[in-house]
Structure 1
Amino acid sequence: MVIVLGFEGSANKLGVGIIKDGVILANPRKTYITPPGEGFLPKETAQHHREKVLEVLRLALNESEVTPNEIDVVCYTKGPGMGAPLATVAIVARTVAQLWNKPILGVNHCIGHIEMGRLITGAKNPTVLYVSGGNTQIIAYARKRYRIFGETIDIAVGNCLDRFARILKLSNDPSPGYNIEQMAKKGYNFVPLPYCVKGMDVSFSGILSFLEERTKSLLEQGHTSEDLCFSLQEVIFAMLVETTERALAHCNSNEVLIVGGVGCNLRLQEMMGEMCKERGATLFATDERFCIDNGVMIAQAGYEMFKSGTRMAWKDSYVTQRFRTDEVETTWRTD
């Protein structure tokens, strides 16, 4: 029996999760929400995490009814992410591990998403579409690593959605992407937007620049904000489905798993589901409890690492804003 405590704080979500042999015991989370039209900055986000982290840790321990003595290993997000929030949460993880005399493990954020998705959905060896505010990657497992088959060459898809929400002055509560999704359901008139797929990679900065320059005139011409949200979703999700389909064919896979905050979007799931149906593949996706950054995903990836014999020296318990998915050897996978 292994009980793992996981800390996540790479962006504006602060989460603490506790997992016991693949069973989720607690997964509380607090989100730093900024006013409409504003993004979250590293300094203020780190301040939020500092103020809330002990409260969230207490919630997790109370909810799980686990005592510090019972915890076998403390895990934290090592990267990728925003420097100040990452460092803030890592300091707490290191402090707790030393106070309680526990080993510590730094977890790759992206792999946390993948392992959480595999645990919740039961997907065995899927082609993974990882879509969030900071990352956009198409990933598949091969020879002891999660290999990146395609990715964004500029900004992440979630960042594109967030910044468009700022143009429209949409609320950041519960998230800009969620509010765009709700508005898109009321849009009917498609506005042609740049479609940018380059081989297996995608690019979103041109679409965003197009909308930054033309949103005002498009609204004056009679298009609604709902039409623009609808059109943006249709184009960027079509790009993601196209590149995922190519990876699926290349890997001769029959499973697709969508992870990351944008993975909650029901329209993306619907479009990906259609593609999977045509190819005889199965789509796996989760809801906002596990798609959006959370502590238990770090605990689950840490559990797999710890159980397979991975250990980390204290001198290596730092954070890094750049930590590639394919840098990690997946010691826990034998397939």
Structure 2
Amino acid sequence: MDFDKYINPGRDYYVALGLEGSANKLAVGIIRHPIGAPSPTNRGTVLSNIRDTYISPPGEGFLPRDTARHHRNWITRLIKRAMNEAKVSSADLDCICFTKGPGMGAPLHTVSLVARAISVMWDVPLVGVNHCIGHIEMGREITNADNPVVLYVSGGNTQVIAYSHQRYRIFGETLDIAIGNCLDRFARTLRISNDPSPGYNIEQLAKRGSNLIPLPYTVKGMDLSMSGILANIDELAKAMKAKTGKAAEYTPEDLCFSLQETLFAMLVEVTERAMAHVGSKEVLIVGGVGCNERLQEMMGIMANERGGSVFATDERFCIDNGLMIAQAGLLAYRRGARTSLEESTTTQRFRTDEVLVNWRD
């Protein structure tokens, strides 16, 4: 497989700029690849990885228009800062990579406009990137996971994925809301702070909970449903606040603990089923919820019982970041991918398995 057909004369490396802004996090990353096929002994170098988050008040979510406004206000500053940190100029860039989707329409559109503008100004090719593919390739790069089952858990997505024949195939997914969305919405019910993120704050409360409250558990094969759990625990939270019935004995910590334990048990079940189906002993957890230490612990127990391993990254690479877009985009660029201006529109719905992964065997 030729990865160096498009190398610039006189250079022995590639540099990509990645722009991510599919939700409330605006991020810019710059990565450098050496020539030669990517491998555990021939890896990329992180030159810059910076991020700024739009944080809404407690009890509120983030609206697309407010998030887009935040991205407009910050994106040029973040690009300048990233390039200064990486000590690169526009002449050093081989490609400009941006999130094409999935995500929220207004923030996606804002970032793609900037990507198009600097592509034209600097005469640097564009590469549109699938957000999930970015998470997967960043996880593989950082952890050296070989061919894992991927659990993708974030605010907008919940998928169990495995690679086959140049596609990341979806073996299971949520039938309604994503796990991150479930956690975020419950945080609003309890009016938990959104700083640094509602999911992180639920995790901290859950560590102090000990009373496991029965909640709906809905798994169908390798798919799962979380809307019923959310509706049920929202009612319990209201009863707790009103001090009515048995719920008067509950605490916010108990509710957060029970929600996490139930949701994560469902994720472990569908992931184990996918591992058995494809014959894999590796699990790679990606997406913002993948930072959760309890999820990693529960997944590790399951994998250990199967003689397998769990791979995960810290918040630098697990939470949405520009580096993952640069990584996936540069892999695609080195195999010939280019996105014309006419094709550089964004889409809120962009399935993981729509992407040809021609940089893997």
* Pairwise TM-score range, normalised by the shorter structure: over 0.9
Match 1:15 to one of 20, 27, 32 = 27
Partner Cα separation in structure 2 for residue 134 and residue 296 of structure 1: 19
Question: In the alignment, which residue of structure 2 is the partner of 1:31?
Answer: 53
Partner Cα separation in structure 1 for residue 223 and residue 81 of structure 2: 41
Question: In the alignment, which residue of structure 1 is the partner of 2:326?
Answer: 299
Find out whether 1:274 has 2:301 as its counterpart. yes
Question: In the alignment, which residue of structure 2 is the partner of 1:171?
Answer: 193
Alignment of 1:107-186 (within 5 A): 107-186=129-208
Match 1:317 to one of 344, 347, 353 = 344
Partner Cα separation in structure 1 for residue 240 and residue 266 of structure 2: 23
Question: In the alignment, which residue of structure 1 is the partner of 2:36?
Answer: none
Partner Cα separation in structure 2 for residue 312 and residue 166 of structure 1: 39
Alignment of 1:67-78 (within 5 A): 67-78=89-100
Deviation, structure 1 residue 313: 2.2
Deviation, structure 1 residue 213: 2.0
Q: C-alpha root-mean-square deviation of aligned residues, in Å?
A: 0.7
Partner Cα separation in structure 2 for residue 311 and residue 331 of structure 1: 13
Match 2:111 to one of 89, 92, 98 = 89
CA contact (8 A) 1:73 1:103 kept: yes
CA contact (8 A) 1:130 1:260 kept: yes
TM-score (norm 1): 0.99
Q: Tell me the alpha carbon deviations over residues 189-247 of structure 1, each in whole angstroms, 9 at most, x when there is no partner.
A: 11110001011101010011112222121452211000000000000000000000000
Match 1:289 to one of 301, 306, 316 = 316
TM-score (norm 2): 0.92
**CA radius of gyration, larger in:** 2
Alignment of 1:229-268 (within 5 A): 229-268=256-295
Q: Tell me the alpha carbon deviations over residues 79-111 of structure 1, each in whole angstroms, 9 at most, x when there is no partner.
A: 000000000000001101110001101000000
| SS of residue paired to 2:297 | helix
| SS of residue paired to 1:154 | coil
CA contact (8 A) 1:83 1:321 kept: yes
Deviation, structure 1 residue 139: 0.2
Partner Cα separation in structure 2 for residue 29 and residue 216 of structure 1: 35
CA contact (8 A) 1:202 1:239 kept: yes
Q: Tell me the alpha carbon deviations over residues 168-209 of structure 1, each in whole angstroms, 9 at most, x when there is no partner.
A: 000000000000000000000111100010111010100111
Q: Tell me the alpha carbon deviations over residues 24-80 of structure 1, each in whole angstroms, 9 at most, x when there is no partner.
A: 100110000000000000000000000000111111001100111100100100000
| SS of residue paired to 2:123 | coil
| SS of residue paired to 2:342 | helix
Identity of matched residues, %: 65
Corresponding residue pairs, total:
334
Deviation, structure 1 residue 124: 1.0
Partner Cα separation in structure 2 for residue 123 and residue 148 of structure 1: 18
Q: Mean Cα displacement is larger for which, 303-312 or 21-30?
A: 303-312
Partner Cα separation in structure 1 for residue 59 and residue 233 of structure 2: 15
Q: Tell me the alpha carbon deviations over residues 147-172 of structure 1, each in whole angstroms, 9 at most, x when there is no partner.
A: 00000010000000000000000000
Greater than 3 Å deviation, 4+ residue runs: none
Partner Cα separation in structure 1 for residue 106 and residue 299 of structure 2: 35
Gaps of 5+ in 1: none
Partner Cα separation in structure 2 for residue 16 and residue 88 of structure 1: 14
| SS of residue paired to 2:18 | strand
| SS of residue paired to 1:284 | strand
